[in-house]
Amino acid sequence: MTPVFDAITPHPDGVDADDELIHERAYVVRAYRQGVDKLILRGAVRDQKPPGLYFDDVQPLTVHHMIVDLTIAMPFVVVAGLLGFVLIWFLRGREPERPDDIGDYWREVPDDPPAVGRSLLDFGTVDSSAFSATVVDLAQRGYLRISEERTDRLIGKDKVIYRFDAVLHHDVDGLEPWERTVLQRLFPGVESSTQDDLTTWARANQA
């Protein structure tokens, strides 16, 4: 009925708009700036029936047409924006209160084992990465040797496992208790083990 609306809401495929359309509702909102301190919003809603649906008429039948105006003073918009900013700052933007137990600030990285650093980052929680970090740290300090064993495959990626060999001439009395536990788990009465051995044990003893 209003051709300009066809570009906004085109008729569905397979529908004869001239014969099957029975109602059209349109909403229009326009904004005007009047001077430097005033905004005017005009909104309208209109319901129409197509020509000839109820009467022999060539014009659409308007059954409802409402217009609403809203005038907004710019100072109101500014004040509302400032109040919104203050509210957001009050809820989300303020600095948190100073806690009572502030620890010492370390300017240099502490000389602690990797497992300790991992637990500090996780607020006391120890995960599998702490175990891996301890193994690598012990290897760097000469307590064990890590080597890579690769198996070539015709299809898919090559299989890579890591082998751990104990270096027996080192004195383990100077190690931390958890470091000695790691060595005992890697070498339970043997001088060499693999990543697969460790994984098999972990699966069999998981909680």
* Radius of gyration from C-alpha coordinates of the chain: 38
pTM score, whole prediction: 0.43
Mean pLDDT of 144-161: 84
pLDDT at 77: 67
Q: What is the 3-state secondary structure (H, E, C) of 37-62?
A: CEEEEEEEEEEEECCCCCCCCCCCEE
Q: Which of 201, 177, 195 is nearest to 136 (CA)?
A: 195
Cα(3)–Cα(8) distance, integer angstroms: 10
Q: Where are the domains of the chain?
A: 3-76, 114-201
145 vs 89, more confident: 145
Per residue in 85-102, pLDDT (tens digit) is: 888 877 777 677 777 777
Q: Which of 68, 81, 3, 80 is nearest to 30 (CA)?
A: 68
Residue 185, exposed/middle/buried by CB under 10 A (0-12, 13-18, 19+)?
middle
Q: Where are the alpha helices (DSSP H) in the chain?
A: 3-6, 17-20, 74-88, 114-121, 128-140, 177-186, 195-204
Cα(139)–Cα(124) distance, integer angstroms: 24
Q: Evaluate if residue 66 carries a pLDDT over 90.
A: yes
Q: Above pLDDT 70, what percent of the chain?
A: 87
